[in-house]
Structure 1
Amino acid sequence: MKKKMLAVLLAASMVASMTACGSSNSADTTTTEEGTNESTDGAEAAADVSDLKIGLITDVGGVNDGSFNQSSWEGLERAGEELGVTVNYLESATDADYKPNMETFIDEDYDLIISVGYMLADATREAAEANPDTKFAIIDDATIDLPNVTSLMFKAEQASYLVGYVAGLTTKTNNIGFVVGMTNETMNQFGYGYCAGAIDANPDITVQQMNANSFADSATGKSMANAEITNGADIVFQAAGATGLGVIEACQEAGVYAIGVDSDQSSIAPNTVLTSAMKRVDNAVYEAVQELIDGTLEGGVKTFDLAAGGVDIAPSQDLISEDVIAAVDEVKEKIISGDVVVPDNKESFEAAYGDVYVLD
């Protein structure tokens, strides 16, 4: 049966004009002298590793985006508190800040530099090639084949499938929306999973799709969500970083549901955010620091999936009906067992659902 899909493709040319702000720092250092770690094991770790310095560089969404960057920093903060290392971050207002931020950490002899997002790939590759004794990690990019670069990847399509399944079973209008920050291989995985889950749950579903072309433009996110709501959507999923905050705001004002991304975003609008497609970047960052301490951090690709707890649906489920929760738990087990294989690229998606996803 041919699935019905309304595809609305909007390449937003309006990119927020932002003042170049250089870098903003926030450090959290834990040492035994300060007595901040009370457990015996933690104190011993701090004594051994307090000289280790780990820096995180955000993309243009900033450290308070309520999403990807913020979750990464929370994971690094936890590593500082629990493992006794020195941690810090630098924000990037524009892509022109990536390289100088990288150079700042290198000049200050940081032991591990973590790049948040594929947009930092070129700057990370250049820095890693020039500094082979420094370790680097990058989230959501697997293009750098260097022994001192660890790629932290996530099966985002699996978490997105789950929230799409929720949307398909919850919608009253059979019409839902999707706003993505940018279109590329990584970001489209959110869309493939969301559309697949929605269609499997509700074959009569209509999915509107829009591309904001920015992770830092909440005004465009709000405008796109409003357009989808006007066209009948009663649930809108955003995978758009800080741009997605505008999507949530639009849904809150219109009295419809929003779906968050990366972290549990229910706290932003408790009566509006139905659920969130979580990528546990906080856990991945923490694990990378632990491996640095243990001496086991290696170059290459590490992938975090649903079975390993690397992605999931948010634990906040007060707005979801019990029968929908039960259905999602069932399909979650099928994904883990392999009975349901969620498409993660154009070819596998179109083989199962046709050419209804148009944001490639």
Structure 2
Amino acid sequence: MRFTEKCALFFMAVCIAIAAIAPAMAEAKAPKDHKIVLILPGPINDQSWNATNYAGLVACNEELGTAMEYVENVQASDYESTFRNYAERGYDLIMAAGTQFDEAANRVAAKYPDSVFCVVNGLVSKGPNVRPVLPKEYEASYLAGIIAGFTTETGKVGMVGGFPNKLMVRLMNTYEYGVRIGSPEAKANRAYSNSWSDVALGKQMATSMIDKGADVLFFYANQVGLGAIQAAKEKGVKFVGFASNQNDIAKGTVVASVYFDFADMYKWTLEKFMDGTLAPEVNQAGVAEGIVKVAYSDQVPDEVRAQVEKAEKAISSGNLLYFASEFPESLK
């Protein structure tokens, strides 16, 4: 074959290749053209779980250029109908904040293969279009426990979770272990509110724990925790914030907050979705991935901060507990 003929064939092959990929290139969407919605179980101003997730949405819209929408205060009885509503309207990505959405998301996703369903804190992926993202909350609660353990003076702490599901029990376990790093003989009064929204119940549960000797409280139950902070402030005990930075809710009462940087996590998730690499599995992120942060008040001494930092390094290295025997005697 002559050189000119080889060149002609090569040119034809290039043209065919370009023609093959051109439709795909033409179909690529700008960030703002993706139809995305976030479904929230509570209000965006709850200063806890829902506010944290909403902050992720805001970061994506401002920094990535998406036009992500949201719907708040969606009740359990409306989970499936809300998913169906957006899927039938052709939304590309339907996100929902909370493990409680797992069952409904997987059930509806099977009927709408053209939409991707992403449950934040999700544990279940039963189909190719179900792609949950799971923050490692138990790592964060471990850090919160360390702070509480060094803060308590009575050796008694109160801890309340929303519902006793698998994730909640695990993070409560690691919190309690963290407490004993700072206070080996500490006793933890554990309970579950079975509510995310009952502020009055949170105050009642916190008051009961304080009356039994707890001088440090930890609540991971969204708005329920706001009632607990009120009780802690009125009773003069300390509170360790969680999920979002709660330090400013009651200065002098909330000694520190261990929270999730959902701005980074949401951006990571949305970038993965838009470039087609968000996997149909449980995608996890925690301390090592930079989404767990600690905000201190001036009530937490440098020595305690150093121990939390040591714990963060241990978690990131995959050797969570190696430092447990290394705490100086002055902090035990």
Pick aligned residue for 1:48 from 30, 36, 42: 30
Question: Which residue number corresponds to residue 150 of structure 1?
Answer: 131
Instruction: Confirm whether residue 331 of structure 1 aligns to residue 311 of structure 2.
Output: yes
Instruction: Confirm whether residue 287 of structure 1 aligns to residue 294 of structure 2.
Output: no
Question: Which residue number corresponds to residue 186 of structure 1?
Answer: 167
Amino acid at match of 2:40: T
Change (3 A) 1:49 1:327: closer
The Cα of 1:213 is off from its aligned counterpart by 0.7
Amino acid at match of 2:98: G
Taking the aligned partners of 1:94 and 1:50, their CA distance within structure 2 comes to 28
Question: Which residue number corresponds to residue 306 of structure 1?
Answer: 287
Taking the aligned partners of 1:123 and 1:212, their CA distance within structure 2 comes to 23
Pick aligned residue for 1:250 from 225, 231, 248: 231
Taking the aligned partners of 2:209 and 2:72, their CA distance within structure 1 comes to 32
Question: Which residue number corresponds to residue 215 of structure 1?
Answer: 196
Q: Check conservation: 1:112, 1:137, Cα contact below 8 A.
A: yes
Taking the aligned partners of 1:116 and 1:97, their CA distance within structure 2 comes to 14
Q: Which runs of 5+ in 1 are unaligned?
A: 1-46, 343-351, 353-360
Taking the aligned partners of 1:125 and 1:280, their CA distance within structure 2 comes to 26
Question: Which residue number corresponds to residue 57 of structure 1?
Answer: 39
Using CA pairs below 8 Å that are at least 6 residues apart, which structure has the higher relative contact order?
Answer: 1
Choose 193-202 or 326-335, whichever is displaced more: 326-335
Instruction: Confirm whether residue 114 of structure 1 aligns to residue 100 of structure 2.
Output: no
Question: Which residue number corresponds to residue 34 of structure 1?
Answer: none
Pick aligned residue for 1:67 from 35, 48, 69: 48
Amino acid at match of 2:196: F
Taking the aligned partners of 1:339 and 1:299, their CA distance within structure 2 comes to 28
Question: Residue by residue, what CA displacement relative to the aligned partner does 1:84-109 show, whole Å, maximum 9, x if unpaired?
Answer: 22111112342112122222322332
Choose 89-98 or 158-167, whichever is displaced more: 89-98
Taking the aligned partners of 2:72 and 2:162, their CA distance within structure 1 comes to 18
The Cα of 1:55 is off from its aligned counterpart by 0.3
Q: Which runs of 5+ in 2 are unaligned?
A: 1-28, 325-332
Amino acid at match of 1:99: E
Q: Check conservation: 1:90, 1:101, Cα contact below 8 A.
A: no
The Cα of 1:248 is off from its aligned counterpart by 1.1
Taking the aligned partners of 2:62 and 2:89, their CA distance within structure 1 comes to 21
Instruction: Confirm whether residue 198 of structure 1 aligns to residue 198 of structure 2.
Output: no
Question: Residue by residue, what CA displacement relative to the aligned partner does 1:139-191 show, whole Å, maximum 9, x if unpaired?
Answer: 11222221111111122111111111111111111111101111010111221
Question: Which residue number corresponds to residue 317 of structure 1?
Answer: 297
Pick aligned residue for 1:101 from 77, 82, 91: 82
The Cα of 1:231 is off from its aligned counterpart by 0.7
Amino acid at match of 2:49: F
* SS across alignment from 2:282: strand
* Greater percentage in helix: 2
Percent identity, aligned pairs only, is 33
The Cα of 1:250 is off from its aligned counterpart by 1.0
RMSD in angstroms over aligned alpha carbons? 2.0
- State the structure with more CA Rg: 2
What is the aligned residue count? 296
The Cα of 1:283 is off from its aligned counterpart by 2.5
The Cα of 1:79 is off from its aligned counterpart by 0.8
Amino acid at match of 2:32: S
Taking the aligned partners of 1:100 and 1:112, their CA distance within structure 2 comes to 16
TM-score, length-scaled by structure 1: 0.78
The Cα of 1:328 is off from its aligned counterpart by 1.8
Q: Check conservation: 1:264, 1:316, Cα contact below 8 A.
A: no
Question: Residue by residue, what CA displacement relative to the aligned partner does 1:182-236 show, whole Å, maximum 9, x if unpaired?
Answer: 1010111221111001112211111111111111111111111101111111110
The Cα of 1:265 is off from its aligned counterpart by 1.3
